[in-house]
């Protein structure tokens, strides 16, 4: 049998698997969105995440799903939606940010969004983001409001990045960036195991001086579940990696020292734990 050409040009190894409705097509159309889901052993919530995208009124998107070789029923769920997913691959990776990079390199949409495998979009998520794309075409990225169990995260204050990482709503499910802008920022730096997203945003906002906007508080794009990736990491590890990110991006050393001392005394018990 003649081997079919794979337009995504992923190199498969050993027992890696791939699929999706666009696997054997030469995809020339540039959709408005590329939505990426990264997953590893998330059989409990993955289907809800997938359905939240499929239920969007806007259909102008491609959907890429990157699985890190799950050992539970995740792959079974992926195969169930094979004809709804543009492309999926099940392949070992070097962690969540490596998987994000893989998905971004495959993206063909004008805007890239990441839908966490244990979160979900609201019913009008893509409609809300499209409205901002049309109204603010010059902006490089959009932070959509997101709902957590304790409230709604909303707004965007780039000036706060100098001393705090709490300057935005959320990474992933609420975040959309122009693909052309993402290429300028580059990929996630996988040497950071816990907060490569902070490094990405620092490069995006401070070094590349890109401009973004946030949706209004009531314009909720995503709903987060408890127990995300970083919530499982010790405060001490997060603390030191956050400082390293600032240092490696050449932030003023005096500001870094002040931040370090302030957080050290404020969270002393958590750090020495």
Residue 106 CB coordination number (10 Å): 19
Full residue range of the structural domain in which residue 209 is found? 17-233
Distance between CA atoms of 92 and 65, rounded to whole angstroms? 13
User: Does residue 169 lie within any of the structural domains?
Assistant: yes
Give the chain's domain count: 1
Distance between CA atoms of 252 and 179, rounded to whole angstroms? 30
Q: How many CA atoms lie within 13 A of 261 on its CB side?
A: 6
- Cα 92 to Cα 67, 75, 156: the distances in Å are 8, 13, 35
Distance between CA atoms of 168 and 155, rounded to whole angstroms? 6
Q: What pLDDT does 24 receive?
A: 63
User: Does residue 68 lie within any of the structural domains?
Assistant: yes
* pTM for the structure as a whole: 0.91
User: Does residue 241 lie within any of the structural domains?
Assistant: no
User: Does residue 150 lie within any of the structural domains?
Assistant: yes
User: Does residue 215 lie within any of the structural domains?
Assistant: yes
User: Does residue 25 lie within any of the structural domains?
Assistant: yes
Q: What pLDDT does 51 receive?
A: 98
Pick the closest to residue 35 from 124, 100, 98 (CA basis): 100
User: Does residue 178 lie within any of the structural domains?
Assistant: yes
Tally of residues, the chain: 273
**Torsion sign over Cα 57, 61, 66, 71:** positive
User: Does residue 258 lie within any of the structural domains?
Assistant: no
Per-residue pLDDT of the chain (273 residues; tens, 9 = 90+): 234 345 556 777 778 899 998 876 656 679 999 999 999 999 999 999 999 999 999 999 999 999 999 999 999 999 999 999 999 999 999 999 999 999 999 999 999 999 999 999 999 999 999 999 999 999 999 999 999 888 999 999 999 999 999 999 888 899 999 999 999 999 999 999 999 999 999 999 999 999 999 999 999 999 998 766 555 678 788 889 999 999 999 999 999 999 999 888 877 566 666
What CATH number should be reported for the domain holding residue 119? 3.90.550.10
């Amino acid at each position: 049998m003649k081997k079919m050409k794979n337009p995504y040009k992923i190199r498969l190894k050993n027992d890696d698997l791939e699929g999706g409705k666009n696997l054997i097509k030469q995809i020339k159309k540039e959709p408005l969105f590329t939505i990426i889901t990264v997953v590893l052993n998330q059989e409990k919530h993955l289907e809800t995440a997938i359905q939240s995208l499929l239920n969007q009124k806007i259909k102008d998107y491609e959907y890429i799903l990157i699985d890190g070789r799950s050992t539970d029923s995740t792959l079974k769920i992926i195969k169930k939606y094979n004809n709804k997913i543009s492309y999926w691959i099940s392949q070992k990776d070097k962690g969540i940010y490596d998987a994000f990079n893989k998905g971004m390199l495959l993206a063909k949409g004008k805007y890239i969004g990441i839908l966490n495998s244990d979160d979900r979009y609201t019913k009008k998520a893509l409609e809300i983001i499209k409205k901002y794309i049309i109204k603010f075409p010059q902006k490089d990225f959009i932070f959509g409001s997101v709902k957590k169990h304790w409230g709604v995260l909303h707004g965007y204050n780039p000036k706060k990045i100098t001393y705090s990482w709490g300057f935005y709503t959320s990474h992933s499910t609420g975040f959309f960036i122009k693909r052309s802008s993402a290429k300028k920022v580059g990929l996630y730096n996988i040497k950071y195991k816990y907060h490569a997203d902070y490094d990405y945003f620092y490069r995006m906002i401070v070094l590349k001086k890109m401009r973004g906007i946030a949706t209004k508080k009531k314009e909720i794009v995503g709903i987060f579940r408890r127990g995300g990736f970083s919530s499982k990491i010790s405060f001490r590890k997060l603390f030191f990696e956050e400082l390293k990110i600032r240092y490696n991006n050449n932030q003023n050393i005096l500001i870094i020292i002040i931040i370090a001392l302030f957080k050290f005394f404020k969270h002393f018990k958590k750090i020495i734990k």
